[in-house]
Each structure stands twice: as C-alpha cells, then as structure tokens.
C-alpha cells in the first residue's frame, strides 16, 4: 500500500509508492501515443478493461452499467496513488512521521471520442465534466477521513498524460496539501489585514488594469496572473466570492464551461496543440464557505523545463511577461 511520509524539516508530505510502474532507464525523449488505439481502456466497448464505473452519464435510458452508450464515465484508477480501503494509522518512525496512503483516485473519462479535436469541444462538454466533478466531490464529502479533493487534467505526453484518451483525474486525500495550505494561509493573512479576500481584490484590479485579462463573461474572468510562474499561465476565477467549487449554481457552471471553452480555444490557437496541466483549487473539505479563500482554476501550458534553480529556490524564471501572454491570448480568434 502507498504510504505518506512527512519531511521533518518543512513538514511536506510525500507519497512513497514502490508498487507503481517505474523504469530505471532514462525516460525516452521520443515518447508518443500509439497510432493504433484499439486497446485504449477508456474507449467505448472496452469498459471491461477498467474497474466498474462509479458514475456515468448517458442519453440511453436504462443503459447497463459498464457497457457503451455513455457520454462521460467515472472509474477508479487501476493504479491509484492512494487506496480507498484501510485506516490512516498515523504514527512515528523514530523522529519521522508516516501514515497509510488512504484516499481516492478516480478517472473522469470526459468523452467516448478518443481523438476529439480542441475545435470540436463544446461548452456543453465542459458543463458535463464540471457536473460530474461536483457530483463526485459531493459524494466523497461523506468520507470523514478525507480533507482535500484535487481535480486536475494532464494533456499531452509532455504533461505526463499516460493515456491519450481525454480524461481528468480526481485525487481525494487525508491531508490539506502544502500548496493549498500556503494559499489559504497567505489569503488569511491578507484578510486579517485588509478584511477583504485577496482574490476578490485581484479580480477588481485585473478588470480595472485590463492588461492581463484574457477573457470575461457574466460570472467569470480569466487572466494571466501578475506573478505568473510559467509562460502563458492562465487562471480562471468566479467573480462572486465562493471558497468551494462544488457550491456554485447551475448558471455559474454554464458560465464557467463557456469561459473554459473560450480560453482553451485561444490557448490551442496561440500555442498549437501544446501540452498542459489544468487544475481546480478549491477550499478544504472541512473549511467550508470561508470568507478569505476563493476557488479558481489554473492552466499551465508545458512550454519550459524547470531544474536545479527552481528546485533549489522555489523561484521561477518566466521568459514571457503575463501582459504579453494575455495580449496574444486575448487577440486570438
């Protein structure tokens, strides 16, 4: 079973999982997806290759579970980084701390189409994805061992997507991860000084500056953040304050789906078929409805490599100013 271990200096947890596939040889530089994808476990007709589905959306009434005919399908990951069965058993090991790798790792198969093109993806596609994500979060809220749920998507070989078939991932974990805790602690500090949400203030300033805005609609704004770590890094934020992604209204989901489609169309136009990671930062499961945190999505196109400097400092060197990136994206289409 995977195991959480805590770094005794900075308190960061890592997951040690020796059962994962690992090849000691140097990663190949020429990896690409197989042209023949008849063996893809996420394609319709291959449902028997995955573990039984947790959720599926289908237009066919009375569809038999784990058969084709679905529009979106959620399954447990065959190689989960965290296991759903067991107890945490938090304990010491000499001066160190560890606990069992308990949690959930699900795959959201976004579409039956293995090779869907960016141009073919509709706002409805994202709306279905977000509805499924919210349904899964609401269900997993019942598991009291869990503290945080991350929903993310890796797209392309360079972004480490093992399968080509379009999919997102959900990982529910028994801790609030370091990066989220940092955001919450920072936002709390700002709130205690200003009595305002730092993200709400950023939205106001971005809409007023306009220089970094990529897109905007009724309920959402997309911009390249002032201190962007990566070229073309783009965030999407709800204009109305809300700390929990799964608390948004149906109208907001529709609006969020529309801006997502628009932003990815722009990115795919400006950066070709670039690999990326896309993730949602929402509040911790047990800190609901907080005034100082604001859920948001982050998109990171994989355009540069990081190494010793970033590793050693936590600083990033970004060769494209967010103002330039936003201008390119804003003017696309």
List active site positions. 167
Extract long-range pairs of 53-62: CB within 8 Å, 24+ residues apart.
Answer: 54/106, 54/136, 55/132, 55/135, 55/136, 57/128, 57/131, 57/132
Task: Please say whether the beta carbons of 74 and 108 come within 8 A.
Answer: yes
SS3 169: strand
CB of 40 to its own copies, least distance (A): 20
User: Angle CA(136)–CA(297)–CA(155) in degrees, nearest 5?
Assistant: 80
Displacement of CA 272 from its chain's centroid (Å): 21
**Minimal distance in Å, beta carbon 271 to its own copies?**
7
Q: What's the Rg (C-alpha) of the chain?
A: 20
Query: How many CB atoms within 10 Å of residue 94?
Result: 6
Q: Give the DSSP per-residue string, 28-54.
A: PTT----S--TT-TTSTT-GGGSPPPS
Shortest distance, CB of residue 227 to its own copies, whole angstroms? 4
CA dist., res. 198 & res. 227, Å (int): 14
Q: Which is nearer to its own copies, 37 or 226 (CB)?
A: 226
Q: Does an H or E element contain 198, and which?
A: helix 198-209
Closest approach of its own copies to the CB of residue 51, in Å: 20
Residue placing its CB nearer to its own copies in the complex, 56 or 136: 136
List the 220-223 sheet strands across, edge first.
55-58, 70-76, 104-109, 167-173, 148-155, 276-281, 296-301, 234-238, 220-223, 213-216
With contact defined as beta carbons under 8 Å apart, do 117 and 268 qualify?
A: no
Q: Which residue, 34 or 62, is less far from its own copies as judged by CB? A: 34
> Smaller CB distance to its own copies: residue 114 or 327?
327
* Alpha carbons 74 and 59: distance in angstroms, whole number: 16
CB of 175 to its own copies, least distance (A): 8
Q: 40 or 279, CB closer to its own copies?
A: 279
Closest approach, Cβ 144 to its own copies, in A, equals 20
Least distance from C-beta 110 to its own copies, angstroms?
A: 14
Residue positions counted in the chain:
333
Q: Residue 66 or residue 303: which is nearer to its own copies going by CB?
A: 303
* Strand residues in 253-294 grouped as ranges (E): 276-281
Q: Which is nearer to its own copies, 27 or 34 (CB)?
A: 27
């Amino acid at each position: 079973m995977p195991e959480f271990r805590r770094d005794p200096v900075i308190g960061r947890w890592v997951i040690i999982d020796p059962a994962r596939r690992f090849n000691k040889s140097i990663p190949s530089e020429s990896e690409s997806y197989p042209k023949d994808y008849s063996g893809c476990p996420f394609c319709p007709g291959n449902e028997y290759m995955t573990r039984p589905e947790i959720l599926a959306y289908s237009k066919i009434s009375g569809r038999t579970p784990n058969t084709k005919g679905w529009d979106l399908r959620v399954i447990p990951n065959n190689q989960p980084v965290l296991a759903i069965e067991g107890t945490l058993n938090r304990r010491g090991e000499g001066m160190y701390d560890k606990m069992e790798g308990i949690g959930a790792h699900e795959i959201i198969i976004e579409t039956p189409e293995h090779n869907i093109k960016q141009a073919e993806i509709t706002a409805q596609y994202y709306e279905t994805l977000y509805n499924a994500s919210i349904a899964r979060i609401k269900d997993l809220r019942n598991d009291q061992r869990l503290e945080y749920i991350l929903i993310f998507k890796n797209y392309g070989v360079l972004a480490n997507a093992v399968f080509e078939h379009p999919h997102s991932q959900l990982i529910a974990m028994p801790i609030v991860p370091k990066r989220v805790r940092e955001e919450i602690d920072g936002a709390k500090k700002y709130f205690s000084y200003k009595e305002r949400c730092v993200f709400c203030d950023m939205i106001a300033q971005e809409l007023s500056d306009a220089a970094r805005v990529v897109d905007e609609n009724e309920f959402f704004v997309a911009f390249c953040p002032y201190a962007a770590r990566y070229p073309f890094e783009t965030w999407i934020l709800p204009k109305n304050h809300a700390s929990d992604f799964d608390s948004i209204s149906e109208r907001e989901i529709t609006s969020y789906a529309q801006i997502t489609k628009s932003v990815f169309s722009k990115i795919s136009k400006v950066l070709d078929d670039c690999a990326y990671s896309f993730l949602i930062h929402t509040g911790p499961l047990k800190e609901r409805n907080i005034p100082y945190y604001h859920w948001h999505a982050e998109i990171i196109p994989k355009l540069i490599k990081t190494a010793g400097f970033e590793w050693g400092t936590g600083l990033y060197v970004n060769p494209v100013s967010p103002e330039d990136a936003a201008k390119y994206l804003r003017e696309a289409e």
